[in-house]
Amino acid sequence: MTSPDGIRPASPVRVTGLGCVSAAGRDVAATLASFRAGTRNPGRTTLFESPITAPVFEVRDLPREYLLPGRRTLGLALMAVDMALADAGLAAGASEARQAPASTAPGFGGARVGVCLGTTVASQLNDLEFYKSWRGIGKADLATVDRYLDGDLAGHIARKFGARGPALNVVNACSSGSDAIGVALSWLRAGLCDVAVAGGADELNRIPFDGFHSLGIMSPDPCAPFDRGRRGLNLGEGAGVIILETTAHAHARGLAAGPLLAGYGSGADAHHLTAPHPEGVGLKASIERALAESGAGPGEIAFVNAHGTATGDNDRVEGRLLAGMFGPGLRFLSTKGFTGHTLGAAGGLEAVFTVLGLREGWIPASAGFREPDPEIGAAPVSGVTEVRGRYALSTSLAFGGNNAALVFGRGAP
């Protein structure tokens, strides 16, 4: 079947490993427990001093091996990558891996492994002292430059595991994690690699914290996506990583069944620097393309893991569009009530959560939601909800009019 704009369904790839760390939990099991219980962990940040008292969703008590001074984003990414690779049965953890060629890298054998990670902070916005010193006296400690270069997420992880394949960081605002997964999908379909490590990571940082506050869109209370009384977003941090493999490579490893990444779409409407197009033009285009690639129709989508930032414009535009595209039977939610808005990590984390929803057969309540907004005309799920169906959709909206959509499938039983 070909879509109206000529897009034919493309071959899906296998999702063989999941890793996540956020305020909702430091691994998949802890996250599912928080989701099931409706546990939320907002609080004031302890990572830097600020007179701003808006709550954030901070990852507490990182294990020592992931506490990398000046490179917190990298530490979060490594933690999620370790989990995902272990889940896939492909490699030892980062604390054990050595900078070895791919032929001797643990678990990879001769496979070509690509690494594609999305981020915004990416260990490059946490050198304020360097910039202040350079601006003030014309010189600064160049050790921070080495730290910045070593904080290259994809490059560092590729070296750490001896991955032989393409390595790329995607910096596309809040759609970065979803776009990175989409790029990795294209690599696998094009035959550039057999396995891809994909997702996103970001740390809580003073620059975006102050920046979002200056925009006037940070809530003084725990956020309430799609709620009539929503007052804005809360920032969060974390990392979400999935392991993707070609079907042939997965079958060669004896993995005959499991989740699929079936489609990806992106669309930029360039309506405004920070606000979405009122009609969701770019988001609609990205969803239509992802559906066309997957071969799924709107009626086959079991649920939508929406971007749902709890800001006025985003939730109104996204909610209306989803209701119009998928009809009154739509089940959707935002998980940002559990994690906060993790910026470049959001698409990676929400990809993991979407796969988990399909795998487990349920999705959590859209945390923070209480009262429907009549301007949206649709309401997210308000309790733990059983979901059936073969496909699920994850959406991301970003500054500059960037939009991305991912379609995941259950795969064969």
pLDDT tens profile 187-242: 999 999 999 999 999 999 999 999 999 999 999 999 999 999 999 999 999 999 99
**What is the per-residue DSSP string for 190-216?**
HTS-SEEEEEEEE---HHHHHHHHHTT
pLDDT tens profile 133-159: 889 998 888 888 888 888 899 999 999
Question: What is the chain's Cα-based Rg?
Answer: 20
Phi, psi of 248 (to 5 degrees): -60, -45
Q: From edge to edge, which strands make up the β-sheet containing 260-268?
A: 167-170, 113-118, 195-202, 238-245, 13-22, 260-268, 402-409, 391-397, 301-305, 332-333
Contact 78, 64 (CB under 8 A): no
Give catalytic residue positions. Answer: 174, 307, 341
For the chain, domains (ranges, CATH) are: 13-409 (3.40.47.10)
* pLDDT tens by residue, the chain, 413 residues: 455 466 767 788 999 999 999 999 999 999 999 999 999 999 999 999 999 999 999 999 999 999 998 899 999 999 999 999 999 999 654 344 433 333 334 467 789 999 999 999 876 776 778 888 889 998 888 888 888 888 899 999 999 999 989 999 999 999 999 999 999 999 999 999 999 999 999 999 999 999 999 999 999 999 999 999 999 999 999 999 999 999 999 999 999 889 999 999 999 988 888 888 999 999 999 999 999 999 999 999 999 999 999 999 999 999 999 999 999 899 999 999 999 999 999 999 999 999 999 999 999 999 999 999 999 999 999 999 999 999 999 999 998 889 999 999 997 64
* 68 Cβ contact partners less than 8 Å away, ≥ 6 residues apart: 74, 75
Structure tokens at 245: 């493999």
pLDDT of residue 228: 98
Measured torsion, CA atoms of residues 62, 217, 396, 15, in degrees rounded to the nearest 10: 10
Q: What is the pTM of this model?
A: 0.94
